[in-house]
Amino acid sequence: MRVVARSLNRDQDGISGFLAYPAASARKPAVLVLHHPNGVTADLKSTVVELAHLGYAALVPNLYHMLGEPGESHIGRGAELQQRLNDGEFLRVIGDSWRYLARRADVDPTRTAVLGHSMGGRLAIPFAADTPELRSLVLYYPSIRDEIETELRPRHGFDLARRLRCPSLLIYGGRDHIANADARRKLWESFSASGQPFEWHFYSHGRHGFASPDSEGYQPELAAMVWPIVTDFLYRSLVEPPIS
């Protein structure tokens, strides 16, 4: 399958990020990838290209660029940036990115999913709760803490997960230093309360960031083990016809 991949510039394309898609013009399902705190890194660009080879139009928007943060790399700056940028701002540009993807002539807007890593996984929950058109949601170790709502983060994932209207896949590790066992339990209860199908994959030895080469928690063997689970879920939720 021939794939087209290119960087997007906000001045020219309306958004900033990296896009890949099969060259065939037929309408296809699409996946919006939301980056971790390190921004749009090489591994996420590779993920987008892999998804395109599987038949999806895939986009990882550079949320930092779209919120006025310059620089080719944001590795190591995630904590600082999240202390200055609020969730409302992030969700606004995530919405812009999803609409850009869903409105492409070669995309079927009724078959879109969001795949988020860490910070991107945390932000994917409110976005999915506010976007009933989404067909499915994939979350790699969303950085959910048991914390009070603040001006920066005014809506908590525990509450928002109950409002989801699409199937979800969640992946966590037992050695996650951000989402502790109690936070994971509460999130499980919230997803269960939504009444939507959800799959929870837990690896007792898994660390936060196990799928990201730029993370101290990187575990390549676990990342390789999980990827087929993710692609199988995307196929079942976006490609196979729904069971009536």
Burial-class residue 60 by CB neighbours within 10 Å (0-12, 13-18, 19+): buried
Q: Which residues of 169-180 are buried (b: 16+ CB within 10 A; e: fewer)?
A: bbbbbeebebbe
- Where along the chain do its domains lie? 3-239
Residues 6+ apart with CB under 8 A from 212: 36, 38, 41, 43, 117, 118, 218
What value does the mean pLDDT of the chain take?
94
pTM higher than 0.85, yes or no? yes
pLDDT of residue 242: 62
Query: 237: closest CA among 184, 186, 179, 198?
Result: 198
What is the rounded CA–CA span in Å between residue 138 and residue 170?
6
Is the domain covering 3-239 a CATH 3.40.50.1820 domain? yes
Does the pLDDT of residue 155 top 70, yes or no? yes
pLDDT of residue 84: 79
**Is 112 strand, coil or helix?**
strand
Q: Can you tell me the mean pLDDT for 20-44? A: 96
CB 81 within 8 A of CB 64: yes
User: What's the pLDDT band for 244 if we cut at 50, 70, 90?
Assistant: very low
Query: 156: closest CA among 186, 196, 135, 194?
Result: 186
As given in the structure block, the two tokens for residue 235 are 């196929």
pLDDT of residue 243: 53
CA end-to-end distance (rounded Å), the chain: 31
Q: How do residues 70-100 score in pLDDT, each as one tens digit?
A: 877 787 777 777 777 899 999 999 999 999 9
